[in-house]
Structure 1
């Protein structure tokens, strides 16, 4: 009887241990999974090889002011979209997608790269430094990013929409002389109805805006 009793206790101990382990593992599997990190997008790597030299005469220097985005939250990197078929006035952010920098900074860098192919593109500070050296301030280009979003016309169709207002002015001691102002609006279709498709379409639209802005400045003789 003693031997039987000992075996029974041992069996009971093993069963209790097995139940405890099973319960522990079940509890672990029930824990919530850690949230996935947002995917970050930009406009791509840019030029990956030297750009062929432009044999045309260089254009005069230009000062590019910081791009402003009055309709966007300052410092926000959210990828925004609109449902034109439901509530077009509401901007909505993707929960798992972000820009690598605020859109205004991405647009400014792209404009600088495009404009810099035939001219020196200066900041406001470097423009002032050039004025002290040469006695003349370069013309100033100011840009407002009025719209930068993926617009859905249906659940499956969307486009990247970029709208910006460009103002060119010539500074002087008595103030500035307005040389020209224009609103640029470009849409590019998105290949997919998600953040990946929207960010690619917005990058393509920004590239087209940069080309049109460059042509406009040349038409103004600047």
Structure 2
């Protein structure tokens, strides 16, 4: 190979390398979100909860990742898409579970998840998406099924919350979904407080020794 040919190959390699760097540098960085701080406590305290344990929140397989999903209801209602540069810091199930545990602890004693002597609350996320009804209007939709059990089913109910997004983009969707999460959790715990949890816990307690 001549010196001229070698120089041409070297120049070509540099151009390819620079082109690759240009492509990589042109990709915008990802922005990550969580649900933000807990909302301020309401002026009217909610009903307290008896001792309760929380099992891991589950959801469909597409919620295992950290994508923020949206649906163009007005044109592609059957298609669920993820934002390319905006993500959650963790999966929606994990974020929801942490939020739920904090909310339970604020209303009563929270036991560790392996304590089978007390009732358990299990939540399955069924929907967790930003729905666009038009190019400029969207809402955060959270649908969840709550199950309370202890040596058998105590209660089960599905809850839905929808909140309008303040802007028609991923950031607006995050705010709407975060608000919807808090609304769903509050509704779940209000319902849970109406269930006979104290009786379920007492029914499995060992009998008191009789005096002779």
| TM-score of Structure 1 vs Structure 2, range by shorter chain | 0.7 to 0.9
Q: Work out whether residues 46 and 190 of structure 2, in 8 Å CA contact, stay in contact via their aligned partners in 1.
A: no
How many residue pairs end up in the alignment? Answer: 178
C-alpha separation in 1, matches of 2:68 and 2:47: 39
2:175 to 177, 200, 214: 200
Alignment of 1:90-105 (within 5 A): 90-105=79-94
RMSD after superposition = 2.6
Alignment of 1:89-128 (within 5 A): 89-125=78-114, 127-128=115-116
| 1:15-50 Cα shifts (integer Å, max 9, x gaps) | xxxxxxxxx9xx89x9446122110011113379xx
Higher Rg of the two aligned structures: 1
C-alpha separation in 1, matches of 2:166 and 2:75: 21
| 1:177-212 Cα shifts (integer Å, max 9, x gaps) | 111100000000001000000000000000111111
C-alpha separation in 2, matches of 1:108 and 1:194: 25
After TM superposition, the runs of 4+ consecutive aligned structure 1 residues lying more than 3 A away are 30-33, 45-48, 54-59
C-alpha separation in 2, matches of 1:199 and 1:31: 31
Deviation (angstroms), 1:73:
4.4
Q: Which runs of 5+ in 2 are unaligned?
A: 1-14, 198-212
2:55 to 61, 65, 82: 65
Deviation (angstroms), 1:70:
2.0
The verdict on how the C-alpha distance between 1:162 and 1:47 changes in structure 2, with shifts beyond 3 A counting, is: closer
SS, match of residue 85 in structure 1: coil
C-alpha separation in 2, matches of 1:105 and 1:33: 31
